[in-house]
Amino acid sequence: EWEVAAIKKWYKAHADHMHSHHENEDALMVPYLRERVKIPQKVEKDHEVLIAHMAKIEKIIAGLSTGDKSGVPALAQAWEAYTKDVKPHLLEEEGTSVPLMRAFFEQAEIGKKVGEILGNEKAPKEELGSFIYYTGEDTFRNEFMVQEGIPFFVWWVGGFESKFKYYRDEVAVLITALKEGKEQAPKEW
């Protein structure tokens, strides 16, 4: 039973993060970058495909139960299809959009947009929490924050620390538990 709860909670965090990530790109970054750079239309078209995958996964996860294991193969298949599309999409963004951004915009210009994203009070805590978690706390604090001109104290007063700890202690722990097959319940279900 804990496995189903862990999958549901983890996937909700993932979906909230990905939807917010796409919204930031579509509403803020891509229009801004297009002022100077031709960003491939495929970047935005990919979002439509990924959102369709995510809706299918969400529907399968909603139907998961401990009494009926028939949803597990469907989830595995849907997840495989999703990762087949999301990984190349993210690599394309990193391999195309980011280098173009760095070539045609000054750090201070992009920093303003990054500030809008980081300062969005409506953004799910998973978005920044997972970014810090996978970047690494030290790298985030000592490289990313410095690069973006974010004062050190914002780690505490800006909510960065709490979002990182939430993701580490409430979300990432779920993946570890599922991989190990041992319940490691987060502080809050």
Per-residue pLDDT reduced to its tens digit, 153-185: 999 999 999 999 999 999 999 999 999 999 876
Instruction: Determine the length of the chain.
Output: 189
The rounded mean pLDDT for the chain is 92
Answer whether 132's CB lies under 8 Å from 163's CB.
Answer: yes
Task: Tell me the pLDDT tens digit for each residue of 42-87.
Answer: 888 899 999 999 999 999 999 998 888 889 999 999 999 999 999 9
Give per-residue pLDDT as tens, 125-137: 999 999 999 999 9
Tokens at 70, concatenated: 């028939």
- Are residues 130 and 166 in contact, defined by beta-carbon separation less than 8 angstroms? no
* pLDDT at residue 188, rounded to an integer: 59
State which H helix or E strand residue 51 sits in: helix 41-62
4-45: pLDDT as tens digits: 999 999 999 999 999 999 999 999 999 999 999 998 888 888
Q: Identity (one letter) of the amino acid at 11? A: Y
pLDDT band at 146 (very low <50, low <70, confident <90, very high): very high
Q: How far apart are CA 136 and CA 78, in angstroms?
A: 29
pTM: 0.89
φ, ψ of residue 137 in degrees (nearest 5)? -55, -45
